[in-house]
Amino acid sequence: MWLNNIITMCIWQGFIVFASLSLCHVIYAADIDYLRSTITKHFSENRHHVINNTNKVASKEFIYNEFKRFGLETSYHTFSYTKLSTVPFANVVGILKGTNFGKVNDKIIGLGAHYDTVAQTKGVDDNGAGVAAMLDVAKQLTAQNKQGVKRKNTIIFVSFDLEEQGYIGSEVFILHWLNPWLDKNYGKAARSVQPHGIIILDTVMEYNTSSNSQKLPDGAAATFHQLFPKSFESMKSDNFQGDFLAMIYRRTVDDSLATSMTKSWAAEKRPQFEIESFPLPFVDVSSLNQTLMDSFGNFFRSDHRNFWLDNIPAIFLTDSGNFRGDMVNCYHHPCDDLATMLTDDNINFLGKTSDAIARSINELSEPTKPDTSGCIRVSVSHVISALMVLAFFVL
Ligand SMILES: *[C@@H]1O[C@H](CO)[C@@H](O)[C@H](O)[C@H]1NC(C)=O
Ligand SMILES: *[C@@H]1O[C@H](CO)[C@@H](O)[C@H](O)[C@H]1NC(C)=O
Ligand SMILES: *[C@@H]1O[C@H](CO)[C@@H](O)[C@H](O)[C@H]1NC(C)=O
The string of pLDDT tens digits covering residues 34-55 is 999 999 999 999 999 999 999 9
Q: Residue 219 — very low, low, confident or very high, per pLDDT cuts 50/70/90? A: confident
Cα–Cα–Cα angle for 119, 123, 124, rounded to 5 degrees = 165
Sequence-ordered alpha helix ranges (H) in the chain = 2-23, 32-42, 53-69, 130-146, 168-172, 179-186, 221-227, 229-237, 255-267, 290-295, 304-309, 327-330, 338-341, 344-364, 373-394
* Residue nearest atom 3 in ligand 3 by C-alpha distance: 325
Ligand number nearest CA of 57 is 1
Share of the chain above pLDDT 70, in %: 87
> What pLDDT, on the 0 to 100 scale, is given for residue 64?
99
CA of 147 to the centre of ligand 2 (A): 54
> What pLDDT, on the 0 to 100 scale, is given for residue 377?
46
Rounded to whole angstroms, how far apart are CA atoms 144 and 150? 9
Please tell me if the CB atom of residue 208 comes closer than 6 angstroms to any atom of ligand 3: yes
> Do 49 and 146 lie in a common domain?
yes
Higher pLDDT: 272 or 1? It is 272
Orientation of helix 255-267 relative to helix 344-364, angle to 10°: 120
Rounded to whole angstroms, how far apart are CA atoms 131 and 114? 7
Q: Residue 295 — very low, low, confident or very high, per pLDDT cuts 50/70/90? A: confident
Name all residues whose Cβ lies below 6 A of ligand 1: 45, 52, 54-55
For residue 32, which amino acid is it?
Answer: I
Please tell me if the CB atom of residue 237 comes closer than 6 angstroms to any atom of ligand 2: no
Please tell me if the CB atom of residue 326 comes closer than 6 angstroms to any atom of ligand 3: yes
Domain of residue 318, residue span: 29-368
Quick count: other Cβ atoms within 10 Å of Cβ 201?
30
> What pLDDT, on the 0 to 100 scale, is given for residue 14?
55
> What pLDDT, on the 0 to 100 scale, is given for residue 370?
62
Name residue 92's beta-bridge partners: 76, 159
> Do 260 and 281 lie in a common domain?
yes
* Residue nearest atom 4 in ligand 3 by C-alpha distance: 325
> What pLDDT, on the 0 to 100 scale, is given for residue 205?
98
> What pLDDT, on the 0 to 100 scale, is given for residue 283?
87
**Rg over CA atoms, the chain:** 23
> Do 12 and 152 lie in a common domain?
no
Residue 146 CB burial class (10 angstroms; 0-12, 13-18, ≥19): exposed
Side-chain half-sphere CA neighbours of 94 within 13 A: 26
Rounded to whole angstroms, how far apart are CA atoms 90 and 239? 42
> What pLDDT, on the 0 to 100 scale, is given for residue 390?
67
Higher pLDDT: 177 or 292? It is 177
Cα–Cα–Cα angle for 66, 375, 32, rounded to 5 degrees = 35
| Nearest-atom index, ligand 3, CA of 208 | 1
> Do 214 and 326 lie in a common domain?
yes
Backbone angles phi, psi at 246, to 5 degrees: -90, 130
Statement: residue 326 has pLDDT above 60: yes
> What pLDDT, on the 0 to 100 scale, is given for residue 392?
64
> Do 17 and 111 lie in a common domain?
no
> What pLDDT, on the 0 to 100 scale, is given for residue 369?
67
Q: How far is CA 185 from the centre of its chain?
A: 24
> What pLDDT, on the 0 to 100 scale, is given for residue 72?
98
Statement: residue 394 has pLDDT above 50: yes
Report the relative pairing of strands 109-112 and 274-280 from DSSP bridges.
unpaired
CA of 83 to the centre of ligand 3 (A): 39
Q: Residue 28 — very low, low, confident or very high, per pLDDT cuts 50/70/90? A: confident
Statement: residue 74 has pLDDT above 60: yes
> Do 16 and 130 lie in a common domain?
no
> What pLDDT, on the 0 to 100 scale, is given for residue 285?
85
> Do 278 and 182 lie in a common domain?
yes
> Do 163 and 300 lie in a common domain?
yes
Integer CA distances (angstroms), 304 to 55, 97, 152, 175, 311, in order: 26, 22, 24, 14, 10
Please tell me if the CB atom of residue 267 comes closer than 6 angstroms to any atom of ligand 2: no
Report which secondary-structure segment, H or E, holds 92. Answer: strand 85-96
pLDDT in tens, 337-369: 999 999 999 999 999 999 999 999 999 999 986
Rounded to whole angstroms, how far apart are CA atoms 245 and 40? 22
Quick count: other Cβ atoms within 10 Å of Cβ 52?
17
Q: Residue 114 — very low, low, confident or very high, per pLDDT cuts 50/70/90? A: very high
CA of 47 to the centre of ligand 1 (A): 9
Rounded to whole angstroms, how far apart are CA atoms 85 and 81? 6
Contact 44, 337 (CB under 8 A): yes
Please tell me if the CB atom of residue 243 comes closer than 6 angstroms to any atom of ligand 3: no
Ligand 3 binding pocket mutation candidate from 206, 326, 344 (most atoms within 8 A of CB): 326
Please tell me if the CB atom of residue 289 comes closer than 6 angstroms to any atom of ligand 2: yes
> Do 184 and 319 lie in a common domain?
yes
* DSSP tag of 105: T
Please tell me if the CB atom of residue 367 comes closer than 6 angstroms to any atom of ligand 3: no
Q: Residue 381 — very low, low, confident or very high, per pLDDT cuts 50/70/90? A: low
Please tell me if the CB atom of residue 287 comes closer than 6 angstroms to any atom of ligand 2: no
Average pLDDT over residues 378-390: 62
> Do 243 and 138 lie in a common domain?
yes
For the beta sheet containing 109-112, the strands, ordered from the edge strand earlier in sequence to the opposite edge, are: 73-81, 85-96, 155-159, 109-112, 197-201, 314-318, 244-250, 274-280
Share of the chain above pLDDT 90, in %: 79
For residue 323, which amino acid is it?
Answer: F
For residue 95, which amino acid is it?
Answer: I
CA of 44 to the centre of ligand 3 (A): 20
* Residue nearest atom 2 in ligand 1 by C-alpha distance: 55
Statement: residue 315 has pLDDT above 70: yes
Ligand number nearest CA of 210 is 3
Q: Residue 132 — very low, low, confident or very high, per pLDDT cuts 50/70/90? A: very high
Sign of CA pseudo-dihedral 251, 252, 258, 259:
positive
Rounded to whole angstroms, how far apart are CA atoms 159 and 198? 12
> Do 103 and 17 lie in a common domain?
no
Average pLDDT over residues 271-291: 91
For residue 31, which amino acid is it?
Answer: D
Dihedral of CA atoms 358, 364, 368, 373 in degrees, nearest 10, equals 10
CATH of the domain at 263: 3.40.630.10
Ligand 2 binding pocket mutation candidate from 284, 290, 291 (most atoms within 8 A of CB): 291
> Do 174 and 66 lie in a common domain?
yes
Of residues 381, 386, 357, the one with CA closest to residue 10: 386
Statement: residue 23 has pLDDT above 60: no
The domain tally of the chain equals: 2
| Nearest-atom index, ligand 2, CA of 292 | 1
